[in-house]
């Protein structure tokens, strides 16, 4: 009876913690333990001592005045010393944007039904018409090899971009723009990027973080009426000058400065600012007519306020022809010829009215940038990544079917199947992440943490996909020329990895550094209460946090022991439901590991970037996995989609597991690490990467299933058959597929001894002579062979042409 009561106490404690009933867990567990002591015949002394202990704890934690003064206040003082000191720029960055599904993933029990019910609207008719019309026409106009050689887009392409309104996609119609949704904007960039990275970047920048975005949210009415129509029509070409030699990833450290200064203009006194700056890596700067500038504004003489005040980061719009501005030189970013270059200003005087939002917005530039960052970072580079991965999928799927070695399409070799599966699986993930993130933006969310995830992890996945595609195409991938689109994509990859916050910084500092505070249900409340010395608010947050840790400990352990099976998830199908259950388990494990890392490392976690980077990996892969699940739920079910979901599930769960193991293995407090391992992985690390059989099924989907391959790559531009590269390869694939049954009949005749072995074309001729194939079939084989020869050919240049290549 004694052990039954003690076991009941433990089970009650764990179950109630699992259900987030911390106080009931303590109360019922304590009473059952006391009953166990009594039944066991313990002496009155021990039972009394137990009762005294329970009563003391009940009074200490149950009576608010005692708890506040004896428990909460000392803990508050201790945490105040542990927490890192946040500067104003860090605080603004942390407060920017909103929390969405990332908060659910940090909760330990994500609400999957809310994700599945979240509406992802398809592109509207106007956006689809723009994709089918102007975007299609633009892509047809562009010869990316010619762009590479000219080192710029042709004049007619620049003119068309302006005429069709490509520079005004995010500008509302009332100002002459197109007023497209985030999803429509993203799909347009995806399609253009599949044709030319140079054209895509040229379109991306005016529609990303920069003058138009900032004017829409913060500009004065006068500024909006003046600039937005001119930006929408392309009359003004914008750039935004943020990065400088001294301020790269730490953009707030800029040494660009503005000094408040009064001058006479046309005989009247005008309050203005004298600006000096050195900026670099500024896209569109060489051709920009309007420069958005970030700088620190100072007022040493107190002309607009307190003397000597440093207002902080301020944003202003400076016309190109302003005296003192130097602009027009070009950088050469990896040979990709989009416009990018430096700009320098020395004692450039402009009125205070040039500040975006007017003089009253002085010093609010950093907040403006951080609050606007989520939209641009969620759209531009993720869309470019989707375009590149879909092209690679389309390209290598066809090439691995058409290209033969040892009388076998190279896609049939297991060594090629493996990267083909990665290409298809990652392309599926990226398409889902693009779609879900844009839908969140269109629903009014500003998911700052998620925007950092999709920027960093989608560009990293693009790098992996293009690397695999290059390996599959082998020699044909490294010979530059009109036939080789992959080489130009390969060269552009480091640009996406680097800009808008390098991926190393984004992973190790931004995603988890911001996510741990913004997405955690209690940490931000605790920090705020400590900063403002609000004891009662801290008390509520603290004990909510304690209950949260205890609940996630129980939940992570129980789900690990039961194979995640006892958590409830919505009905999709067996594979989708198991995926959600495992992700729920890892959500609890991730939340617990986060709390253990924060609790043991305190403010030093900010500097332990390897640990914070692995925690970022956990959060990122849970989000990417969620987006793939959402895609699977929303799209028609098929055998291919089932296989893709299984591949994504195995790949994502393995990545999350390995990241958590990395955190546990490297926590400095080894006792906590040991306990954490016992809770999170009581049965060991059991998740494995996708199996060879599953990889083969996924690879075959882009080799054999034309419809699946087209569905996976539906967002890209496919040129006509006459064009070298993807267009010719698509045509060759059609011919090769029609020839396959004829070739199979010939091979069967050879195996049966009815036909002697002979090299390619000779064997076809022998088959014709012996009536194994008809004349029409022989002609079809010859046509397929000629098409194969054409698409496996590489470019060559005369000596005169070669020296002129760029």
Summarised one tens digit per residue, pLDDT across range 152-163 is: 999 999 999 999
pLDDT of residue 48: 57
CA 596 remoteness from chain centre: 26
Residue 488's pLDDT band (boundaries 50, 70, 90)? very high
Euclidean distance between CA atoms 767 and 762, whole angstroms? 9
pLDDT of residue 221: 96
Residue pair 297/345 in contact (Cβ under 8 Å)? The answer is no
Q: Which residue has the higher pLDDT, 155 or 70?
A: 155
From 500, 526, 730, 777, the catalytic residue:
500
Euclidean distance between CA atoms 407 and 29, whole angstroms? 71
Mean pLDDT, rounded, for 195-215: 93
Euclidean distance between CA atoms 280 and 609, whole angstroms? 27
Residue pair 458/385 in contact (Cβ under 8 Å)? The answer is yes
Name which of 4-8, 59-63, 334-338, 458-462 the model is least confident about. 4-8
Answer yes or no: 346 catalytic: no
Q: Flag whether pLDDT at 512 surpasses 80.
A: yes
Euclidean distance between CA atoms 663 and 659, whole angstroms? 6
pLDDT of residue 310: 92
* Backbone φ, ψ for residue 350 (5° rounding): -140, 155
Q: Flag whether pLDDT at 461 surpasses 70.
A: yes
CB atoms within 10 A of CB 349: 17
Euclidean distance between CA atoms 322 and 285, whole angstroms? 14
Mean pLDDT, rounded, for 326-338: 95
Residue pair 211/292 in contact (Cβ under 8 Å)? The answer is yes
pLDDT of residue 8: 46
Q: Flag whether pLDDT at 771 surpasses 80.
A: yes
Euclidean distance between CA atoms 805 and 790, whole angstroms? 22
pLDDT of residue 767: 84
pLDDT of residue 550: 87
Euclidean distance between CA atoms 764 and 639, whole angstroms? 36
Euclidean distance between CA atoms 151 and 458, whole angstroms? 27
* Backbone φ, ψ for residue 345 (5° rounding): -135, 135
CA 158 remoteness from chain centre: 29
Alpha helices in 277-364 (DSSP H): none
Q: Flag whether pLDDT at 150 surpasses 80.
A: yes
Which residues does 800 contact at the CB level (< 8 Å), separation at least 6? none
Q: Dump pLDDT digits (tens) for 33-55.
A: 555 555 555 555 555 555 555 55
Q: Which residue has the higher pLDDT, 65 or 335?
A: 335
Pairing of strands 268-283, 340-351: antiparallel
Q: Flag whether pLDDT at 662 surpasses 90.
A: yes
Locate 517 and state its tokens: 């505070």
Length of the chain equals 806
pLDDT of residue 4: 43
Using the 8-state DSSP alphabet, how is residue 507 labeled?
I
Locate 156 and state its tokens: 């007619």
Percent of the chain at pLDDT > 70 equals: 90
Sign of the dihedral through C-alpha 246, 151, 460, 435: positive
* Backbone φ, ψ for residue 247 (5° rounding): -140, 90
Pairing of strands 340-351, 238-241: unpaired
Q: Dump pLDDT digits (tens) for 337-361.
A: 999 999 999 999 999 999 999 999 9
Mean pLDDT, rounded, for 81-103: 79
CA 77 remoteness from chain centre: 38
* Backbone φ, ψ for residue 742 (5° rounding): -70, -45
Angle, helix 448-473 to helix 609-634, in steps of 10 degrees: 80
pLDDT of residue 1: 46
Q: Dump pLDDT digits (tens) for 279-294.
A: 999 999 999 999 999 9
Locate 86 and state its tokens: 């946040």
Residue 749's pLDDT band (boundaries 50, 70, 90)? confident
Euclidean distance between CA atoms 642 and 651, whole angstroms? 14
Euclidean distance between CA atoms 373 and 451, whole angstroms? 8
Mean pLDDT, rounded, for 683-709: 94
pLDDT of residue 20: 46
Mean pLDDT, rounded, for 742-750: 86
Q: Flag whether pLDDT at 755 surpasses 90.
A: no
Mean pLDDT, rounded, for 604-612: 89
Mean confidence (pLDDT) of the chain = 89
Mean pLDDT, rounded, for 387-407: 91
pLDDT of residue 40: 54
Euclidean distance between CA atoms 216 and 239, whole angstroms? 16
Locate 309 and state its tokens: 């005040």
pLDDT of residue 13: 42
* Backbone φ, ψ for residue 404 (5° rounding): -120, 145
- Highest mean pLDDT: which of 48-52, 314-318, 513-517? 314-318
Q: Which residue has the higher pLDDT, 217 or 539?
A: 217
Q: Name the one residue in this structure whose structure tokens are 């505070």.
A: 517
pLDDT of residue 55: 53
Residue pair 518/524 in contact (Cβ under 8 Å)? The answer is yes
Q: Flag whether pLDDT at 721 surpasses 70.
A: yes
pLDDT of residue 409: 86
pLDDT of residue 61: 60
Residue pair 576/633 in contact (Cβ under 8 Å)? The answer is yes
Pairing of strands 290-299, 257-265: parallel
pLDDT of residue 250: 67
Residue 60's pLDDT band (boundaries 50, 70, 90)? low
pLDDT of residue 16: 41
CB atoms within 10 A of CB 717: 23
pLDDT of residue 19: 47
Which residues does 738 contact at the CB level (< 8 Å), separation at least 6? 780, 784
User: For the whole model, what pTM was predicted?
Assistant: 0.92
Residue 789's pLDDT band (boundaries 50, 70, 90)? confident
Mean pLDDT, rounded, for 665-679: 96
Residue pair 582/565 in contact (Cβ under 8 Å)? The answer is no
Q: Flag whether pLDDT at 184 surpasses 80.
A: yes
User: Distance of CA 744 to CAs 99, 332, 736, Å?
Assistant: 57, 51, 12
């Amino acid at each position: 009876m004694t052990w039954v009561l003690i076991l009941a106490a433990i089970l009650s404690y764990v179950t109630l913690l699992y259900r987030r009933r911390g106080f009931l867990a303590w109360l019922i567990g304590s009473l059952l333990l006391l009953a166990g002591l009594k039944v066991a015949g313990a002496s009155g002394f021990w039972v009394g001592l137990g009762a005294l202990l329970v009563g003391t704890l009940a009074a200490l934690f149950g009576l608010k005045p005692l708890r506040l003064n004896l428990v909460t206040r000392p803990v508050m003082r201790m945490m105040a010393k542990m927490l890192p000191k946040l500067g104003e720029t860090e605080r603004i960055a942390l407060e920017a944007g909103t929390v969405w599904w990332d908060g659910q993933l940090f909760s330990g029990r994500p609400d999957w039904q809310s994700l599945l019910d979240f509406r992802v609207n398809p592109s509207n008719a106007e956006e689809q018409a723009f994709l089918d019309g102007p975007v299609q026409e633009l892509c047809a106009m562009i010869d990316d090899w010619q762009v590479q050689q000219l080192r710029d887009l042709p004049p007619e392409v620049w003119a068309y971009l302006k005429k069709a309104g490509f520079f005004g996609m995010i500008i509302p119609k009332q100002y002459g723009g197109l007023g497209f949704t985030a999803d429509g904007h993203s799909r347009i960039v995806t399609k253009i990027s599949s044709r030319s990275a140079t054209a895509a970047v040229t379109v991306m920048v005016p529609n990303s973080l920069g003058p138009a975005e900032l004017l829409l949210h913060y500009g004065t009415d006068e500024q909006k009426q003046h600039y937005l129509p001119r930006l929408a029509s392309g009359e003004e070409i914008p750039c935004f000058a943020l990065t400088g030699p001294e301020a790269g990833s730490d953009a707030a450290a800029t040494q660009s400065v503005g000094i408040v200064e009064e001058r006479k203009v046309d005989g009247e006194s005008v309050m203005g600012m004298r600006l000096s700056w050195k900026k670099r890596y500024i896209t569109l700067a060489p051709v920009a007519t309007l420069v958005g500038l970030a700088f620190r504004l100072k007022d040493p003489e107190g002309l607009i306020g307190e003397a000597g005040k440093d207002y902080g980061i301020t944003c202003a719009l400076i016309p190109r022809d302003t005296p003192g501005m130097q602009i027009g030189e070009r950088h050469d970013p990896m040979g990709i010829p989009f416009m990018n270059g430096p700009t320098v200003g020395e004692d450039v005087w402009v009125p205070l009215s040039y500040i975006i939002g007017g003089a009253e917005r002085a010093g609010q530039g950093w907040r403006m940038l951080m609050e606007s960052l989520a939209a641009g970072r969620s759209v531009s580079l993720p869309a470019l990544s989707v375009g590149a991965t879909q092209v690679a999928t389309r390209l290598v799927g066809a090439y691995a079917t058409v290209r033969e070695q040892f009388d076998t399409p190279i896609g049939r070799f297991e060594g090629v199947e493996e990267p083909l599966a990665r290409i298809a699986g990652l392309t599926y993930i990226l398409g889902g992440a693009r779609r879900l993130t844009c839908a969140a933006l269109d629903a009014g969310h500003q998911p700052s943490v998620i925007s950092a995830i999709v920027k960093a992890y989608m560009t990293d996945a693009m790098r992996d996909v293009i690397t695999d595609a290059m390996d599959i195409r082998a020699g044909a991938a490294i010979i530059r020329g009109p036939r080789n689109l992959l080489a130009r994509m390969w060269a552009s990859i480091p640009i996406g990895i680097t800009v808008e916050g390098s991926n190393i910084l984004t992973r190790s500092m931004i995603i988890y550094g911001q996510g741990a505070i913004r997405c955690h249900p209690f940490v931000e409340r605790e920090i705020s209460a400590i900063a403002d010395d609000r004891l009662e608010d801290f008390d509520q947050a603290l004990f909510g946090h304690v209950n949260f840790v205890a609940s996630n400990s129980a939940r992570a352990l129980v789900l690990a022991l039961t194979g995640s099976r006892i958590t409830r998830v919505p009905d999709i199908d067996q594979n989708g439901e198991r995926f959600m259950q495992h992700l729920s388990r890892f959500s609890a494990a991730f939340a617990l590991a986060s709390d253990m890392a924060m609790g043991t490392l305190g403010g030093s976690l900010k500097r332990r970037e390897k640990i914070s980077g692995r925690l970022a990996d956990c959060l990122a892969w849970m989000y990417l996995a969620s987006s793939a699940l959402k895609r699977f739920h929303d799209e028609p079910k098929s055998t291919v989609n089932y296989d893709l979901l299984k591949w994504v599930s195995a790949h994502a769960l393995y990545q999350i597991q390995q990241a958590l193991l990395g955190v546990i293995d490297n926590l400095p407090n080894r006792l906590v690490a040991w306990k954490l391992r016992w809770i999170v992985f009581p049965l060991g690390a059991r998740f494995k990467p996708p199996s060879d059989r599953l990889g083969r099924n996924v690879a075959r989907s882009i080799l054999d299933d034309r419809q699946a391959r087209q569905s996976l790559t539906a967002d890209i531009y496919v040129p006509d058959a006459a064009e070298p590269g993807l267009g010719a390869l698509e045509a060759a694939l059609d011919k090769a597929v029609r020839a396959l049954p004829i070739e199979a009949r010939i091979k069967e005749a050879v195996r049966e001894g009815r036909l002697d072995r002979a090299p390619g074309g000779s064997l076809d001729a022998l088959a014709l002579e012996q009536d194994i194939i008809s004349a029409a079939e022989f002609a079809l084989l010859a046509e397929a062979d000629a098409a194969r020869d054409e698409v496996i050919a590489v470019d060559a240049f005369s000596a005169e042409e070669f020296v002129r290549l760029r």
